[in-house]
Amino acid sequence: MTPHVLTRSLDRSASIFILVVAGLGVLIPLSNLLLPAGSALQVPTYLVALFGKYACYAILALSIDLIWGYCGILSLGHGAFFALGGYAMGMYLMRQIGSRGVYGNPILPDFMVFLNYPKLPWYWHGFDMFWFAALMVIVVPGLLAFCFGWLAFRSRVTGVYLSIITQAMTYALLLAFFRNDFGFGGNNGLTDFKDILGFNVQADGTRAALFALSCLALILAFLICRAVVTSKLGKVLVAIRDAESRTRFLGYRVESYKLFVFTLSACMAGVAGALYVPQVGIINPSEFAPGNSIEAVIWVAVGGRGTLVGAALGAVVVNYAKTYFTSGPLAPYWLFMLGALFILVTLLLPKGIVGTFNAWRESQKETQVANAESAALEDGVGEPKPAE
Amino acid sequence: MFATLLDRLRALLLAILLAAAFALPALAEPFEDAVAKFANDDFSDTDEAIGAVATSGNPLAFPIISALQDGRLSADPDTKKVFVTGADGKIIDAATGEAVDKLPDNAAAVRLNNRLRRAVEAALGGLTLLSPDPAKRIAAAQSVFRSHDESALATIDGALAKETNKAVKTAFTEARAAILLYKADAAEVEKLESVAIVKARGDQEAMALLTGLGSDLPPNVARAVTSAMASIQSNLAMWSMVQNAWYGLSLGSVLLLAAIGLAITFGVMGVINMAHGEMVMLGAYTTFVVQEVIRSRYPGLFDYSLLIAVPLAFLVAGAVGVAIERGIIRFLYGRPLETLLATWGLSLVLQQAVRTMFGPTNREVGNPAWMSGAFELGQITITYNRLWILCFTLAVFVILLAMLRYTALGLEMRAVTQNRRMAASMGIATSRVDALTFGLGSGIAGIAGVALSQIDNVSPNLGQSYIIDSFMVVVFGGVGNLWGTLVGAFTLGIANKFLEPVAGAVLGKIAILVLIILFIQKRPRGLFALKGRAVEA
């Protein structure tokens, strides 16, 4: 079954995408670790961490494309699932600090000592074990998405209403995580990590490994999305996107399909967040800001919604532009550019880069076919024209 | 008979002479002696000096004691001279009141300890009880009420007898009641009367006074105190309800103002305008510019700045709104999610544009005289700016409602809301109506900005802080119905303020968001949904 799904789902652009990501995932860590520092081909460690960040963003973009591009659910709160996954990983990393913190408390993280917590809050238990934290990275966003989606889809909250309440959800979480007594470090968030699974998070080797893992996760996420959208389920999803009521009238339980894909997407976003945190070294409530979630949506729009490859590409392109412009003399103009990107892409490039490219290729092919046909027609002049 | 009379007269004369002979130095000397005691640098001498100076009736008493409180009283231990350094830096001799050029080199500030500080406060209270300024007398009476210091009783009694101002008289009576309640040897009848007086006062301080009484009271008094406390408690609870309701109304009016323009654009055109908050911001910055121009050119017009800003803000934001509709939104009809993204991008551009032009920091927008200050209503304080904003919001609401109802544009707008294609078939230029509607909604957001500039920071992020709340109001109230927006805004405002004391400000807000999310499940189209047969695609 699995190989069959895999082969069916791999068309040319998908294979190219996987090869490129896998290639980068192997070559960049190798170049970073094996080549001497200062060599022209050596990728410095800060770039490895940066690319790792892009890979995590690409996974987030894939998860948004899965629901928006294929099911028409525009979530403006996907940053919340990303951040929840990040917090789950951050909690594990905090527990790993142990007595090396500023206050040297073997159990309580520094901020809890500082805020006079008498003991570890109950929801922090278990996060000293990696397997538990890894499970929570998937379970917590998934559970939230499931409850939220169950309530929203069952009562047929759709379109902009859904977008607005997802935004309210992430806003509510933003406010909650800013509170000191919520037990997640208040507005400083979780930071000052020491090691992950016994490896120093700052070490070159760990960074390279995390980058390779992020690429692997990106490939896996891509394959999962591919498998979903090319299956029969995916066809129903597209049907829901294009005509929800009609699909319902045909007898499909629209809300179950939506709930499944929404929860899956949230889990993927959670994994992206979990990989993001050790590479960036901090997670704080600003990740919940509604603006972040909307920005993630524009990555998908730029790359091309409903193309998967485009979503990942868009995440990388927009974030590279962001890094490039915000670090240069053009920094004050970055928001102008980002804003213009939102407007121009929706107005002029509704299919995104990949979508437009595909459409252009299609039209090229069609003209080729048409040319070939007309050439064939000219060859056999006397033959009767087949009925159209 | 005559002789006895003469004797008496002689005795009287003698008495007067004696009195005169002793009284003149008696007025002057004890005061100077008392003042000199400050120079002994001995706490018990200072204590005596405070008492003597405070009761001397000398006009210098008040400056001396208040200087002592602020550490501006200094003494020369060798010459035993004491000096008052005024708040303005002028130095006078405390005993005579003569101006002195500079302090002697070895003069040191008179030291106080905690016991003396209390004595100083009590003495000051007694001194200001007799101040010619009624506001000062009331303040002094309040401080006596709080300290219920027995030593002030005589002064209060005296002052009360002479007092003519009604408010001051009440304050004195209350202060006296407070003293009597705490005076161990006061008669039971007096104490009962005092309880009644304190009960009538009925505020937080009365409550604190009664709570502090302790248990060793006569049974009758104790019973009266308990019932008075219960009555004050319920009184306080009622006022805190009123206060919450007022805060809620005030918050609701702000929400309504921010959301009402959104209700129009969203209701009529189904357009999610994420840049709506930025229209509010443009209005606030228009106010800022208007005030800057007025400050530099026509300072006399400052009180009218808001009246000038309102139409200007409407025009500025409205024009930007029409431009947005013609330039962007027109191409995106029927694609609400894309509209959302494009207008979000627009909001980023507008924010950054304002940040570039006016700088990222808060800009100062002043309150005109008629909007500053506050008045007391019962036990709550109502600020004028909040009150005006509430009135202004209701006025905008009524005008808008009338406009939709009685003007041609309003009629067309309602027609387009109800059935766009039918309206078009009837010859209504729907695209023109769309542009005007969007301009109207944006213009009202601009007006909201004028009002919000009075209570919020005018910064490029101003709009951001309102956008989510405004959407909540519109979604909660229901689309396409201004009454829904009104009810939604005030419901959310009041619910928020009643949750705040229970759950805290942030948790209250989170609770409201969660409640709205749950509410949407129940009524996906809001409180007042338009009824129709349309099935969504």
Same domain, B407 and B492: yes
What is the model's pLDDT at position B28?
A: 47
Query: How many CB contacts within 8 angstroms connect chain A with chain B?
Result: 130
| Number of domains, chain A | 1
pLDDT at B311 > cutoff 90: yes
Q: For residue range B94-134, what is the model confidence (pLDDT) as tens digits?
A: 877 788 877 777 778 888 888 888 888 777 776 777 777 77
- Check residues B18 and B377 and name the one with the higher pLDDT: B377
Asked which of B115, B146, B175 is the last residue of a domain, the reply is B115
Residue A378 located in a structural domain:
no
CA distances, B304 to each of A364, B366, B446, B453 (Å)? 66, 12, 18, 15
Q: For residue range B434-490, what is the model confidence (pLDDT) as tens digits?
A: 899 999 999 999 999 999 888 888 998 888 888 888 888 888 888 767 888 999 999
CB pair distance less than 8 Å for A168 and B342: no
HEC letters along B414-438: HHHHHCHHHHHHCCCCHHHHHHHHH
Closest CA to B473 of B456, B452, B496: B496
- H helices, E strands: number in chain B: 20, 7
Range of the domain at B434: 256-296+304-357+380-522
Amino acid at B495: A
* B337 closest CB neighbour out of A74, A176, A244: A74
Same domain, B152 and B63: no
Residue A123 located in a structural domain:
yes
* B468 closest CB neighbour out of A68, A168, A338: A168
CB pair distance less than 8 Å for B346 and A171: no
Cβ atoms < 10 Å from Cβ of A129: 12
What is the model's pLDDT at position B22?
A: 46
Residue B229 located in a structural domain:
no
- What stretch of H or E contains A229? helix A204-230
- Check residues B41 and B338 and name the one with the higher pLDDT: B338
Reduce the DSSP state of residue B286 to 3 states and report it: helix
Nearest CA in chain A to B346: A339
Torsion-angle region of residue B339: left (phi > 0), alpha (psi -120 to 50) or beta? alpha
Residue located via tokens 């309800």: B241
A331 CB near a chain B CB, below 8 Å?
no
Measured distance CA(B128)–CA(B62) in Å, rounded: 8
Same domain, B209 and B275: no
Q: For residue range B490-514, what is the model confidence (pLDDT) as tens digits?
A: 999 999 888 888 887 788 888 888 8
Amino acid at B213: L
Same domain, B34 and B110: yes
Same domain, B94 and B194: no
Residue B403 located in a structural domain:
yes
Residue B416 located in a structural domain:
yes
B332: distance to nearest CA of chain A, Å? 7
Same domain, B103 and B71: yes
Question: What is the token pair recorded at A78?
Answer: 């996907």
Residue A385 located in a structural domain:
no
| Number of domains, chain B | 3
Q: For residue range B135-162, what is the model confidence (pLDDT) as tens digits?
A: 778 877 887 787 777 777 777 787 788 7
| Greatest extent of chain B over all pairs of C-alpha atoms, in Å | 125
What is the model's pLDDT at position B312?
A: 95
Same domain, B442 and B312: yes
- H helices, E strands: number in chain A: 15, 4
B347: distance to nearest CA of chain A, Å? 7
Q: For residue range A259-295, what is the model confidence (pLDDT) as tens digits?
A: 999 999 999 999 999 999 999 999 999 999 998 999 9
Asked which of B87, B115, B143 is the last residue of a domain, the reply is B115
Same domain, B81 and B208: no
CB pair distance less than 8 Å for A346 and B342: yes
Residue B122 located in a structural domain:
no
Helix axes B219-269, B430-452, angle to 10 degrees: 150
What is the model's pLDDT at position B531?
A: 62
Same domain, B317 and B397: yes
A333: distance to nearest CA of chain B, Å? 8
* A336 closest CB neighbour out of B272, B349, B506: B349
Range of the domain at A263: 2-373
Residue B228 located in a structural domain:
no
B337 CB near a chain A CB, below 8 Å?
yes
Contacts of A175 in chain B (CB under 8 A): 506, 509-510, 513
Amino acid at B299: P
| CA A13 from centroid of its chain's CA atoms | 19
Q: For residue range B156-166, what is the model confidence (pLDDT) as tens digits?
A: 787 788 778 88
Cα angle for residues A17, A19, A22 (degrees, 5° grid): 105
Same domain, B398 and B506: yes
What percent of chain B clears pLDDT 90, i.e. is strictly above it?
19
B535 CB near a chain A CB, below 8 Å?
yes
Residue B532 located in a structural domain:
no
Contacts of A342 in chain B (CB under 8 A): 341-342, 344-346, 348
A225 CB near a chain B CB, below 8 Å?
no
pLDDT at A324 > cutoff 50: yes
CB pair distance less than 8 Å for A155 and B535: no
Task: List the alpha helices (DSSP H) in B99-165.
Answer: 114-128, 134-147, 153-162
Closest CA to B487 of B242, B270, B263, B280: B263
Measured distance CA(A255)–CA(A248) in Å, rounded: 9
Question: What is the token pair recorded at B282?
Answer: 């443009």
Same domain, B205 and B323: no
Residue B499 located in a structural domain:
yes
CB pair distance less than 8 Å for B537 and A245: yes
A350 CB near a chain B CB, below 8 Å?
yes
What is the model's pLDDT at position B4?
A: 59
Asked which of B188, B217, B246 is the last residue of a domain, the reply is B217
Confirm if A265 and A145 have CB atoms less than 8 A apart: yes
What is the model's pLDDT at position A1?
A: 42
Measured distance CA(B1)–CA(B9) in Å, rounded: 12
Same domain, B353 and B392: yes
